[in-house]
Amino acid sequence: MPECDFTPPAYKGPSLDECLEIRKANLFPGLVTFYKKPVLIHQGHKQWLFDHTGKRYLDFFAGIVTVSLGHAHEATTKALKDQADVLWHTTSIYPHPQIHQYAKELTDRMPGNLKVCMFFSSGTEANDLAVYLSRIHTGAYDVISLRNGYHGAGGTPWGLTATSVYRHVTPTGFGIHHAMNPDVFRGPWGGQSCRDSPSQAQRSCRCAPGECAASDKYADQLKDLMMHSTPKRIAGFFAEPIQGVGGTVQMPKGFLKKAADLVRERGGLVITDEVQTGFGRTGTHFWGFESHGIIPDIVTMAKGMGNGYPLAALVTTPEIASSLSKAVHFTTFGGSPLACAVGRSVLKAMDAEKTQDNCHKVGTYLLEQLMGLQREFPTWIGDVRGKGLMVGVEMVNGQGSIEKGSGRTCSIEPIPPQIMADIWEHTKDMGLLLGKGGVHGNVFRIKPPMCVTKQDVDFAISVFREAIKMSLPRL
């Protein structure tokens, strides 16, 4: 494990067993914990987490893609403390300097006429308003999102979210339609040249150089959905530039631009959810949508913008924003002095520490090493994908069958859940924390703090390799 010069103070709180008993009695049972034996986190420092015993872990999931700069970042911690000494809260009904300074600094980083923002405490709130705003601005009602997408748990975003594991037996999302997900690994179309990534699907492709037939076919499916299931005018279309909770699924090159054209032909607004892909995480651009060659009408963001502090935003054009002024709209905690002070410090630190550049360099190195691991376990690691430090590894059943005529080099049958769980548990025991997701729960989600190094990657790869060897059946 790479060295760390930080030693946390001794833990003095309740034991793990006591915490689990309280959790069982006093917290909702739906709030699941990771791992068979959960980790009781005591302290964080940069890319490291420490449990109650003092054991150190390399955090490769960053609080579900939220800790962008690193745990307990010095500059953001100072900004929070300094602001707390001055003013905690007034709501936006009273002008305070932080919200105005932050709004200007944030929107200065947006292209085109995306110059007006509203702040919230969560991405769910931002996405909820995005639907509402698209409807009142266009005068239409129907909204389209992609299958396998995740846009929040609550209110209207529950309807946008098209993954069954997050859906309850209750009506949600009236007027929301789910289009076929343009997944070049699992979907019917896609090949070895489709992604804007160093890593491609291990699948043959007949596309000419610079072209992607898969993007046309998935765009045709979107067009077909609109032809049969929506009115001639729609309100909007939601997409994550790279799907997060769904397992780091990347669209084929050109799809999002084609989708945007189809949506705008029907009067709809294009909405990109940058909750996980924003703020330089994909490496080549500050915003994920920039890689797709479009400028959305509405952009939502959260998570990494506060480095763990509850902070989210919606950014749009002045014209679209003015639609909301037809009635009073208000949020109590959105744009609080504390949140905006933290948000401003995050932007400054990202510039000073060149985190986007680090995402590109270290993320590309990480993908290359994972591709090497895929060559070691070609029938079990079905897909390595992503960009920057937004990475996914899809595990498949090495003993499964391959579809005839599909052009695939491995099965897409998910790895048996017990083997997946064993690999995950072994990585934790050896000091590496990974996320997990995908519609089948068979994708390792790798989204570490943006301060990780190549040495951290080398350690993670060695742990991952050993965990796979320990878990696979002896053939």
Give tens-digit pLDDT for 7-16.
999 999 999 9
Flag whether 72 is in a domain: no
Do 228 and 368 sit in the same domain of this protein? no
Flag whether 8 is in a domain: no
Tens digits of per-residue pLDDT, 431-460?
999 999 999 999 999 999 999 999 999 999
Flag whether 9 is in a domain: no
Mean pLDDT to the nearest integer, 33-57: 96
Of 338, 353, 368, which residue constitutes the final position of a domain?
A: 353
**Average confidence score pLDDT of the chain:** 95
Do 252 and 264 sit in the same domain of this protein? yes
Instruction: For residue 276, give the CATH number of its domain.
Output: 3.40.640.10
Of 309, 336, 353, which residue constitutes the final position of a domain?
A: 353
Give the range among 41-55, 87-101, 415-429 with minimum mean pLDDT.
87-101
Q: pTM of the entire structure? A: 0.96
SS (H, E, C) the chain: CCCCCCCCCCCCCCCHHHHHHHHHHHCCCCCCCCCCCCCCEEEEEECEEEECCCCEEEECCHHHHCCCCCECCHHHHHHHHHHHCCCCCCCCCCCCHHHHHHHHHHHCCCCCCCCEEEEECCHHHHHHHHHHHHHHHHCCCCEEEECCCCCCCCCCHHHHCCCHHHCCCCCCCCCEEEECCCCCCCCCCCCCCCCCCCCCCCECCCCCCCCCHHHHHHHHHHHHHHHHHCCCCCCEEEECCEECCCCCEECCCCHHHHHHHHHHHCCCEEEEECCCCCCCCCCCCCCHHHHHCCCCCEEEECHHHHCCCCCEEEEECHHHHHHHHHCCCCCCCCCCHHHHHHHHHHHHHHHHHCHHHHHHHHHHHHHHHHHHHHHHCCCCEEEEEEECCEEEEEEECCCCCCCCCCCECCCCCECCHHHHHHHHHHHHHCCEECEEECCCCCEEEECCCCCCCHHHHHHHHHHHHHHHHHHCCCC
Flag whether 5 is in a domain: no
Do 269 and 340 sit in the same domain of this protein? yes
Tens digits of per-residue pLDDT, 182-239?
999 999 999 888 999 999 999 888 787 778 899 999 999 999 999 999 999 999 999 9
Mean pLDDT to the nearest integer, 34-63: 97
Do 344 and 361 sit in the same domain of this protein? no
Do 284 and 321 sit in the same domain of this protein? yes
Mean pLDDT to the nearest integer, 52-71: 97
Do 160 and 216 sit in the same domain of this protein? yes
The pLDDT of residue 391 is above 60: yes
- Domain span including residue 406: 16-65+355-471
Do 230 and 365 sit in the same domain of this protein? no
Mean pLDDT to the nearest integer, 59-73: 97
Do 188 and 280 sit in the same domain of this protein? yes
Do 82 and 229 sit in the same domain of this protein? yes
Instruction: For residue 56, give the CATH number of its domain.
Output: 3.90.1150.10
Which residues are 414's β-sheet partners? 396
Flag whether 1 is in a domain: no
Do 164 and 27 sit in the same domain of this protein? no
pLDDT bracket for residue 355 (50, 70, 90): very high
Flag whether 6 is in a domain: no
Mean pLDDT to the nearest integer, 127-134: 98
Q: Specify burial of residue 12 (Cβ count, 10 A radius: 0-12, 13-18, 19+).
A: exposed
pLDDT confidence of residue 210: 73
pLDDT bracket for residue 474 (50, 70, 90): low
d(CA 378, CA 30): 35
The pLDDT of residue 475 is above 50: no
For 86, the token pair is 């001055």
For the chain, the domain total comes to: 2
Of 353, 376, 409, which residue constitutes the final position of a domain?
A: 353
Do 245 and 173 sit in the same domain of this protein? yes
Flag whether 71 is in a domain: no
Do 264 and 307 sit in the same domain of this protein? yes
Flag whether 135 is in a domain: yes
Top pLDDT among 78 and 153 is at 78
Mean pLDDT to the nearest integer, 106-113: 98
